[in-house]
Chain A
């Protein structure tokens, strides 16, 4: 009787463990599926943009892709030189606002 109870309890524990595993991996799978979908949607959008770019000549592409806006501090000097890229990065870190993205 006691052996039967122990065996029954073990089977129940195994079943519970199995169900928990199914729930755990199920959630991960669903999350993974959502990310994969978002990524592939983004890629498809980019591919449409690349397809559109392919229909334009280099001359046209260059006409519209180079823009000119004043960049705070960066555009305040006619000539600026740095001995090393590390020195340039340090200058950017100290002098440029974060929103310009140079950090």
Chain B
């Protein structure tokens, strides 16, 4: 099992795009795309919850190297709210109905594309989702994550520069 990295993210984005999967990065992994400096162990994806998107998602996941049985694929298509995958190149959580976010369409409207390839839910949505989940690990990380959002706002940034050595547009 490899750890999720930029290269893995790049590959995921490329394969998901090719299959036309509708998705957003969310959770702490999503916040890391904004530049949030904290550690996490898996990537969290918020896919649109439709049978058509689930079919594309299953195909894309197989191409990425995840072992999905026909039963697994049927479960995705039937419509699950949460799926954990530990059978591929990196740990992946599929959160089809994150706490605190009304719909995929609404989250997508507020999302941004980072580094021209990574669709990421808005920091406000990531925070709202963690606040609504209200698990111990969310409660512990929220004050720092909110401070990071305020840090970006006070500097009129949507995210930290992806490559600080290059001049930013």
- A67 at the binding interface (Cβ < 8 Å): yes
Whether B6 and A59, one on each chain, are in contact in the complex, defined by CB atoms closer than 8 angstroms, is yes
In the bound assembly, the distance between CA atoms of A53 and B152 in angstroms comes to: 12
- B136 at the binding interface (Cβ < 8 Å): yes
Whether B36 and A53, one on each chain, are in contact in the complex, defined by CB atoms closer than 8 angstroms, is yes
Interface of chain B: mostly helix, strand, loop or mixed: loop
- A-side residues, CB < 8 A to B, are 43, 46-47, 49-50, 52-59, 61-69, 71, 74-75, 77-85, 87-89, 92, 98, 100-103
Asked, given contacts A66-B29, A68-B1, whether A47 binds B151 with beta carbons under 8 Å apart, the answer is yes
- Work out how many contacts link A and B, with CB atoms closer than 8 A: 137
- B-side residues, CB < 8 A to A, are 1-6, 9, 29, 32-33, 35-41, 43, 67-69, 72, 75-76, 80-87, 90-91, 95, 97-99, 114-115, 135-137, 140, 144, 147-148, 151, 160-165
Whether B85 and A66, one on each chain, are in contact in the complex, defined by CB atoms closer than 8 angstroms, is no
In the bound assembly, the distance between CA atoms of A31 and B68 in angstroms comes to: 57
Q: Chain B nearest CB: distance from A56 CB in Å?
A: 7
